[in-house]
């Protein structure tokens, strides 16, 4: 079984960000000044949600005895969904931490 490495997660997050940036018509070379962070976060939330729903549907198919679905595939998809959610959760924690830090600054 492969180990989950933080650098791989960051690379995947960068790839998701680049893909979302490309979909919005921007380019990675332009920098972050014109990136709609809300849209990027929303697309990430939707991707994590789709992954979780897909894993749940696969598990449901396995439970119902679908011969096309094996246990290893179900477990791998469930772990991918869990890792995606955990990465999103950590991003949320960092955002909350940054917000609190900004709000505690004296003007």
Per-residue pLDDT of the chain (107 residues), as tens digits, is 456 566 666 667 677 767 766 665 555 445 545 778 888 888 889 999 999 999 999 999 999 999 999 999 999 999 999 999 999 999 989 988 998 999 998 87
Outline where 1-107 has alpha helix (H).
6-23, 37-63, 71-103
The token duo for 14 is 């960068």
Give the pTM. Answer: 0.62
Helix axes 6-23, 37-63, angle to 10 degrees: 120
For residue 39, the model assigns a pLDDT of 85
For position 40, what pLDDT does the model report?
A: 84
């Amino acid at each position: 079984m492969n180990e989950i490495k933080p650098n791989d997660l960051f690379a995947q997050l960068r790839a998701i960000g680049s893909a979302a940036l490309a979909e919005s018509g921007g380019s990675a070379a332009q920098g972050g000044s014109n990136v709609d962070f809300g849209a990027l976060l929303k697309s990430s939330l939707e991707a994590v949600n789709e992954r979780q729903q897909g894993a749940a549907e696969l598990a449901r198919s396995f439970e119902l005895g679908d011969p096309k679905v094996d246990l290893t595939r179900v477990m791998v998809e469930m772990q991918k969904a869990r890792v995606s959610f955990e990465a999103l959760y950590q991003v949320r924690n960092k955002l909350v931490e940054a917000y609190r830090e900004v709000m505690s600054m004296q003007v």
